[in-house]
Structure 1
Amino acid sequence: YIMWLSSYLARHARDVTDFVRGLLPPVMVMGLLFGLIMLQPDLGTSLTLAGTGVLMLFAAGARLTHLAGLGVLGAAGVFVLARIDEERWSRITTFLNPWADPTDSGYQIIQALLAFGSGGLFGVGLGESRQKYFYLPERHTDMIYAVLGEELGFIGAALVLLLFFAFAWRGYRIAIQAPDRFSSLMAAGVTSLITLQAALNIAVVTASIPSTGIPLPFLSYGGTSLVITLSGVGILLGVSRFCRN
């Protein structure tokens, strides 16, 4: 989707401010992919895809009023999708008060917060996490950041967060300095995809947003995720070779 959208927006640069001729086709494709992923169902990946698309449209010069309208419609759609599904709605109510059901729906996020609390400032030591021994569910995928926070403490967790900020800054800088529109949008799309995944994962683990299953790029277990992420980094490096500065 990132490659196609970059090509489309590069070829229709003059139409990007026109909703019907410029934005409607990519939004329709985005909606189709969103729906297919939701059939799994996987709301987290669907939101990542939609967010990446919107950021690419912004980078291409789409009008803020159009994007704001899409944002309002998207937020309403997500609310409806969450409200009609009992499991998704329970995640929202659990987010508001995980201690209301500490042995079932709130168990995972409470254990994640206990991991951060146990880590303190400097952590319990690399590889010395206690929460990963059958206390914290999905500790090797969705909740890997909590284990990292326990083992390396606030200092280590903050350092990882700063590294993702540095990745986003460098990625968008490459997009700004890219030699052509297609390369610029590709760099912006790849950077947005990886950064949004990291932001969603860390927000979920720190109980900042309702729970949704998203891996942490570069750190979560999963060969496919790592291959795709590193392929995106390869694209960024390829674009950076031809940057103007």
Structure 2
Amino acid sequence: MAIDASAPTGAAQKSPRNGSNRGRNTFMDRFWKRIDGNPSQGSGPLYYVILGVTLALTVIGLVMVLSSSSVEAITEEDSSYALFLRQGLFAALGVVGMLALSRFPVAAFRKMSWILLVLAVGLLGLVFTPLGVEVYGNRNWIKIGSFTGQPSEAAKLALAIWGAHVLAMKGALAHRTLHAIVPVVFPGGALLIGLVLLGQDLGTAIILGLILTALLFLGGANMKLFGITGLVAIVGAIAMVLLSGNRVGRINAWLRIDCDTNSACDQPLAGLQALASGSWFGVGLGQSRQKWKYIPEAHNDFIFSILGEELGLFGSLVVIVLFGALAVAMYRVAARAKDPFVRIATGGIMVWVVGQAFVNIGMVTGLLPVIGVPLPFISYGGTALFMVLLAVGVVMAFARDSHNDSIGATSTSASASKRGK
């Protein structure tokens, strides 16, 4: 076989496989570039991607709350629309708060970080006063007049912003174990998680633990720290389960042990039946059968099963894709930011919102035990919806600020180039 002597030594012919890889890389490059946007265009696509996905999820949530809560609301409230109207009020307030926060400068969040932590601790402390209310064995609510709220939702946002601020201040020192632990893990994070655990809310404590883990990872903590804290968390979670008959029942239900006599099996089995009966395109909006008391409080943690029953696999995948799009957009905000505070805080919020969504979906589909974690934007709960919308507003502010920095850098570079000519 003749060899082309003009070819450089060691040069290899491009195979179809290499060509296809290059094609895929080109496609992904175009994809990320499209997500990132053009620095010369206003506040950029990322801001609007996050806004659009958030509003879409909120609208879907309101529709599903109306559908899933109407049956129980007829017997327990003055109107079948009562829970929907209440959720709609919090959605409206949350969207206004989200848009307001999206205009804040990054420095403002850093200035209020310690205030947010103190407020979160104070609100969690109110749970153990006469204002505290116990729901299904968990004392994690406060009631003031006709208003009922869950302070642990505010603690999630406070932990993300305060922890990111402290770790950004520490910089490279965060790699040292002691600097990573104090004060982010102890006393800050431990205090918030401890107060939630005192209220017997293991599910929320797990989400706070995930946020704290993300903050430490993005802040540059030594990897050995994760092994130690992970072991402590696992031992603590096992102890909490073993000390509660209710949690043992949920684990047995997840493992399908003694389901003939274990009432904890009823809800997850009914949820799976709802998903199965939804087939590809569902039985129709408002036509769920499982919401007729087969799934207790179907508008809360198991609302995804009602969504799957009424809208089918197609509707379920739409929600999952929307959460995936939100994750991609938040990731790009963090990856593009030059400020370590923005990167760490965005990562913490992303793990909170998207991580909690997939924990809930895993719980409903039987991949995880039932731990009482709501589906962000979708499940009924005014405080949870309001706080998650505020969290998205913080990330939108980061996206706008980072894009303005890019515009400034582009303008400076263009001016320098003109001067050089």
TM class, shorter-length: over 0.9
Q: State whether structure 2 residue 149 is matched by structure 1 residue 2.
A: no
Identify which of 50, 54, 70 aligns with 2:213. Answer: 54
* Contact in 1 for aligned 2:282/2:312 (Cα 8 Å): yes
Unaligned runs of 5+ in 2: 1-158, 407-421
> Residues 1-245 of structure 1: matches in 2 within 5 Å?
1-28=159-186, 29-97=188-256, 100-101=259-260, 104-243=263-402
* Contact residue 15 and residue 21 of structure 1 kept, 8 A: yes
User: Partner of 2:238: helix, strand, or coil?
Assistant: helix
Once the two structures are overlaid, the 10-residue window that deviates more, 60-69 or 36-45, is: 60-69
Say which SS state the counterpart of residue 128 (structure 1) adopts: coil
Q: Which amino acid aligns with 1:4?
A: W
Q: Is the contact made by 1:171 and 1:188 (CA closer than 8 Å) also made in structure 2? A: yes
1:103 Cα deviation from its structure 2 partner: 6.8
Matched to 1:2, the amino acid is A
CA displacement at 1:85 relative to structure 2: 1.5
Alpha-carbon contact 2:254-2:369 (below 8 Å) kept:
yes
C-alpha distance in structure 2 between counterparts of 1:112 and 1:190, whole Å: 28
| Rounded Cα–Cα distance in structure 2 between residues aligned with 1:93 and 1:151 | 29
User: Once the 2 structures are TM-superposed, how far is the Cα of residue 176 of structure 1 from its aligned partner?
Assistant: 1.5
Instruction: Between 181-190 and 226-235, report the one with greater CA deviation.
Output: 181-190
Superimposed CA distance per residue, residues 192-220 of structure 1 (whole angstroms, 9 cap, x where no aligned partner): 11112111111111111111111111111
Which amino acid in the other structure matches residue 13 of structure 1?
A: G
* TM-score normalised by L of structure 2: 0.56
TM-score, length-scaled by structure 1:
0.95
Higher relative contact order (CA 8 A, sep 6+): 2
Deviation, structure 1 residue 24: 3.8
**More displaced, 141-150 or 52-61?**
52-61
Larger Rg belongs to: 2
Corresponding pairs, count: 245
Distance 1:102 1:172, change over 3 A: farther
Q: Is the Cα contact below 8 Å between 1:178 and 1:243 reproduced in 2?
A: yes
- C-alpha offsets along residues 150-201 of structure 1, whole Å, 9 cap, x if unaligned? 0111111122112111111111211121241112222112111111211111
CA-based RMSD of the aligned residues comes to 1.5
Deviation at 1:242, TM superposition (A): 2.2
Between the aligned partners of 1:104 and 1:233, the Cα distance in structure 2 is: 38
Q: C-alpha offsets along residues 63-101 of structure 1, whole Å, 9 cap, x if unaligned?
A: 222212211221111111111211111111111006623
In structure 2, how many angstroms separate the alpha carbons of the residues matched to 1:99 and 1:83? Answer: 17
Distance 2:401 2:387 in 1: 22
Instruction: Among all aligned residue pairs of Structure 1 and Structure 2, give the percentage whose two residues are the same amino acid.
Output: 36
Secondary structure of 1:215's counterpart equals coil
Name whichever of 16-25 and 203-212 sits farther off: 16-25
Q: CA deviation at 1:102?
A: 6.5
Distance 1:53 1:78, change over 3 A: same
Shift >3 Å, 4+ stretches: none
| Structure 1 unmatched ranges of 5 or more | none
**2:263 partner SS:** coil
Query: Do the aligned partners of 2:172 and 2:220 also contact (CA within 8 Å) in 1?
Result: no
Deviations 1:20-78 (A, max 9, x none): 12224211122221111011110000000011110111111112222122112211111
Where 2:211 maps in the other structure, the secondary structure is helix
User: Which residue identity is paired with 1:188?
Assistant: G
CA contact (8 A) 1:52 1:196 kept: no
String of CA shifts for 1:107-145, please: whole Å, max 9, x gaps.
001110110011011111122111111111121010100
